[in-house]
Structure 1
Amino acid sequence: MANTQKRKNQARILRTFRKIHRTTGALLFIFFFFISVTGLLLGWKKNSGGLIYSKSYEGTSTDLRDWLPMDSLHTIACRVFRDSISTDYSLELDRIDIRKNKGMVKFVFVDHYWGIQLDGATGELLHIERRNADFIENVHDGSILDYYFGTTGGPIKLAYTGIMGLSLLTFTVTGFWLWFGPKQMRKAKKRSVGEGQERYGSF
């Protein structure tokens, strides 16, 4: 009797986990799809032939003493941006990447994911790049919505990563139990049958 009740409880838990697993998968399918695809692209970005992650070009000197002042390089980058990309986009910077070992400095602009690589010593334009990897990364972590809605502090990204992280954890736990639960139930059933046969054989 006790074994029968135990199996019923296990079956009820299994049905509950199956429902949670199915509901989570159905509701968040599109988000899991985006996360998996963008994660795959980010993993292969350096092997994309420049389609996702742009090559870093080399300048003429790796000695910082030979470099132009950073404000001069910034002025050159802004002029290149206005002349070669757009006069309408913002000149707000996302970051400045200094690649001393390559003699290059990269100015990454917020608006529309553009980047400009300059020779640190001469200020010569080395490359204009579209930051596709940054765009994919922002889609991956949900910060693309903060970018388009102009929210500060990344509240949408925070909520998105929290929800998706907990959902993935739930998906993992329930998926494991959907595999492990039936195995336990079969083992319990075999033990119950074996015990019954032993009792029957003792008469």
Structure 2
Amino acid sequence: MGKRKQQAKTLRIFRKIHRTTGALLFIFFFFVSVTGLILGWKKNSNGVILPKTQKGTTADLKEWLPLDSLHTIACYTLHDKVSSDYSLELDRIDVRKEKGSVKFVFVDHFYEVQLDGATGSVLSIGQRHSDFFEHVHDGSILDRYLGTGGYIKLIYTNVMGIALLVFTITGFWLWYGPKRMRKAGKS
């Protein structure tokens, strides 16, 4: 088999891999791309995707209330102002020393309560839509609802990472292969 025929055969194989991978993972690529775009805008969405970080009265931690007191205020606020049915299980506590505020992010329904670190005043109550989009983006939304302990996310991120690598390699070859063949044909 000649060099040109071998190059054409390789090109057909790469095209088939590229097309098949794209067809099989289309819906996943769609979700990854849309959620990635949304997440890219989260801090520039005027609080729609991610609540803005509010400013408290002081950044001096010596003047702040103890964390357990702030936690109690956040839990009371969630139940009083949002829903008494929501779990008080925390996803994380985000201390923004430079802003003088602390965010208590709850697991259920992706709510956060922002408090002034020094006074305990409620600065903001908001739903973190960005957290939901992050869970869809990385596949952990299925782990959350099926209780699989992170295994779906692990498999999903491996499949998507390998697929992106395959797309990169085959896409490059689909672009470069014909150029190489034309160049070889002129020699």
Q: TM-score per shorter chain, which class? A: over 0.9
Q: Distance in 2 between matches of 1:187 and 1:120?
A: 67
Runs of 5+ unmatched residues, structure 2: none
Where does structure 1 differ by over 3 angstroms across 4 or more consecutive aligned residues?
A: none
Question: SS of 2:105's equivalent?
Answer: strand
User: Which of residues 153, 157, 161 in structure 1 aligns to 2:157?
Assistant: 161
Runs of 5+ unmatched residues, structure 1: 192-203
The reply on whether 1:74 has 2:42 as its aligned counterpart is no
The reply on whether 1:189 has 2:185 as its aligned counterpart is yes
Q: Percent identity?
A: 69
Matches within 5 A, 1:42-61: 42-61=39-58
Q: Which amino acid in structure 1 is aligned with residue 154 of structure 2?
A: L
Aligned residues: 187
Q: Which amino acid in structure 1 is aligned with residue 169 of structure 2?
A: V
Question: SS of 2:114's equivalent?
Answer: strand
Matches within 5 A, 1:124-163: 124-152=121-149, 154-163=150-159
What TM-score, normalized to structure 1? 0.89
RMSD: 1.1
Superposed CA deviations along residues 13-66 of structure 1, whole A, max 9, x for unmatched, are 111111000001111111111111111111111111111121111111221111
Alpha-carbon deviation of 1:151? 2.4
Superposed CA deviations along residues 98-157 of structure 1, whole A, max 9, x for unmatched, are 1111111110001110000011111111100101111111111111111111222x1111
What TM-score, normalized to structure 2? 0.96
Q: Which amino acid in structure 1 is aligned with residue 153 of structure 2?
A: K
Question: SS of 1:88's equivalent?
Answer: coil
Question: SS of 2:17's equivalent?
Answer: helix
The reply on whether 1:15 has 2:12 as its aligned counterpart is yes
- Which residue matches 2:61? 64
Question: SS of 2:92's equivalent?
Answer: strand
User: Which of residues 165, 168, 171 in structure 2 aligns to 1:172?
Assistant: 168
User: Which of residues 85, 100, 120 in structure 1 aligns to 2:117?
Assistant: 120
Q: Which amino acid in structure 2 is aligned with residue 122 of structure 1?
A: T
